[in-house]
Amino acid sequence: MKFTPILVLPFLIAFAACAQPKTAFQVVPLGVKGGSDESNLSAYAIALKGTNEYVCLDAGTLHAGIEKAVLNKTWQGTADEILKNNIKGYLISHPHLDHVAGLIINAPDDSAKPIYGLPGCIDVLKTNYFTWKSWANFTNEGDKPTLNKYTYTILIPGTSVPLSNTTMRVTAFPLSHVNPYESTAFLLQHNEDYLLYLGDTGSDEIEKSDKLLALWRTVSPLIKEKKLKAIFIEVSFPNSQADNLLFGHLTPRLLLKEMNVLSQQAGNSGLANVPIVITHRKPVGNNEEIIKKELTQVNNLNLNFIYPEQGKSLEF
Ligand SMILES: [Zn+2]
Ligand SMILES: [Zn+2]
């Protein structure tokens, strides 16, 4: 048979396109810092790529982040419309104010949607924040009268549930954040694609916990099968922070210690292919830059660190 390049070319192009890993998730960071700057605190809007069906992973900052995303042409419309229409729910890792302030402040202007969380987290929202003494009860439970805008949705650790008005699912796993206080890791899923977001967490070593080990055991098969698209994890302090002043957070050294445990489970080459998005750097002095530099120095696993910026879309 005669070789006809004209006929073969489309197949080669199609093959090359298939060889590229396809992106599944779009993440719009609405806030990335671990404190101080109330206009830029932990909140990550995530949707299946090509849709406007976002859920917010934590909600420290909403309005200022949406405005930034509009300015960057990541989203079109007014901040008010986007908050109401594009954000379909909130996944709250733990009830510290730097993770919920945006949700509470924007509640009067928001539309009806669920708030997902582990029982302990929902309980704090119910008894401390969405009460008539501290604000107004925009939710469907607790202090009477209830305004029924937000619906509490309790997550059971390790049990996958659908996220309303999206095609994604979530599974929650407890984390230790100043033992015995808990935070949460959320494993987002759409078909064969997964993304892991960890709220604030200390290392197992310092927290005297095995919560991260349990999480690494759960997600390592997904890394081996190339289904995990990204890991969002905090590094709050530089290495110089004393162990007794970590307050349930990670340093570059402690992150790498945990990543080495994960890599033992998942295989190093597997983990090197998973982008590691560094969240929650506390903007004290020059610490954000120091953390970045120290992560490069301790990176014995050749990990691909990503530093999110407010309003700048990421794809995984
Ligand atoms: Zn916290
Ligand atoms: Zn925090």
**Closest to 116 measured CA to CA, from 149, 163, 48, 165:** 163
Taking only the tens place, the pLDDT of each residue in 79-111 is 999 999 999 999 999 999 999 999 999 999 999
Helix (H, G, I), strand (E, B) or coil at 78: coil
Side chain identity at residue 5, one-letter code: P
Half-sphere exposure of 263 (CA within 13 A, CB side): 18
Side chain identity at residue 86, one-letter code: N
Q: Report whether pLDDT(174) > 60.
A: yes
User: What pLDDT shows up at residue 201?
Assistant: 98
What ligand has the least distance to the C-alpha of 101?
A: 2
Determine what percent of the chain is predicted with pLDDT higher than 70. Answer: 93
Residue 267's pLDDT band (cuts 50, 70, 90):
confident
Average pLDDT over residues 142-154: 98
What ligand has the least distance to the C-alpha of 34?
A: 2
57 contact partners, CB below 8 Å, separation of at least 6: 43, 44, 45, 46, 91, 93, 186, 197, 232
Determine what percent of the chain is predicted with pLDDT higher than 90. Answer: 92
What ligand has the least distance to the C-alpha of 175?
A: 1
Q: Choose the weakest-confidence range: 11-15, 117-121, 246-250, 257-261.
A: 11-15
**Could you tell me the distance, in angstroms and rounded to a whole number, from the CA of residue 12 to the centre of ligand 2?**
48
**Could you tell me the distance, in angstroms and rounded to a whole number, from the CA of residue 237 to the centre of ligand 1?**
13
Average pLDDT over residues 271-292: 97
**Could you tell me the distance, in angstroms and rounded to a whole number, from the CA of residue 98 to the centre of ligand 2?**
5
**Could you tell me the distance, in angstroms and rounded to a whole number, from the CA of residue 283 to the centre of ligand 2?**
12
- For ligand 1, a single-atom ion, the residues with CB < 5 A are 96, 200
Q: Report whether pLDDT(2) > 60.
A: no
Residue reference for tokens 């900052």: 61
User: What pLDDT shows up at residue 23?
Assistant: 83
Distance from the Cα of residue 103 to its chain's centroid: 15
CB contact at 8 A, 67 and 79: yes
What ligand has the least distance to the C-alpha of 183?
A: 1
What ligand has the least distance to the C-alpha of 124?
A: 1
Q: Report whether pLDDT(1) > 60.
A: no
Q: What is the mean pLDDT of the chain?
A: 94
User: What pLDDT shows up at residue 269?
Assistant: 79
- Measured distance CA(76)–CA(67) in Å, rounded: 10
Residue 55's pLDDT band (cuts 50, 70, 90):
very high
**Could you tell me the distance, in angstroms and rounded to a whole number, from the CA of residue 131 to the centre of ligand 2?**
22
What ligand has the least distance to the C-alpha of 60?
A: 2
**Could you tell me the distance, in angstroms and rounded to a whole number, from the CA of residue 65 to the centre of ligand 1?**
20
- Measured distance CA(290)–CA(154) in Å, rounded: 38
Query: Is cis: bond before 29, omega within 30 of 0?
Result: no
**Could you tell me the distance, in angstroms and rounded to a whole number, from the CA of residue 267 to the centre of ligand 1?**
30
Q: Report whether pLDDT(20) > 80.
A: no
Half-sphere exposure of 299 (CA within 13 A, CB side): 15
Whole-prediction pTM value?
0.93
- Measured distance CA(134)–CA(41) in Å, rounded: 21
- Measured distance CA(148)–CA(229) in Å, rounded: 35
Side chain identity at residue 254, one-letter code: L
**Could you tell me the distance, in angstroms and rounded to a whole number, from the CA of residue 94 to the centre of ligand 1?**
7
Average pLDDT over residues 195-204: 98
Taking only the tens place, the pLDDT of each residue in 214-230 is 999 999 999 999 999 99
**Could you tell me the distance, in angstroms and rounded to a whole number, from the CA of residue 99 to the centre of ligand 1?**
7
246 contact partners, CB below 8 Å, separation of at least 6: 202, 206, 236, 237, 254
Cα separation values, 233 from 130, 182, 186, 277, Å: 28, 15, 11, 6
**Could you tell me the distance, in angstroms and rounded to a whole number, from the CA of residue 24 to the centre of ligand 2?**
27
User: What pLDDT shows up at residue 11?
Assistant: 61
What ligand has the least distance to the C-alpha of 59?
A: 2
DSSP 281: B
Name 195's bridge partners. 188
User: What pLDDT shows up at residue 77?
Assistant: 96
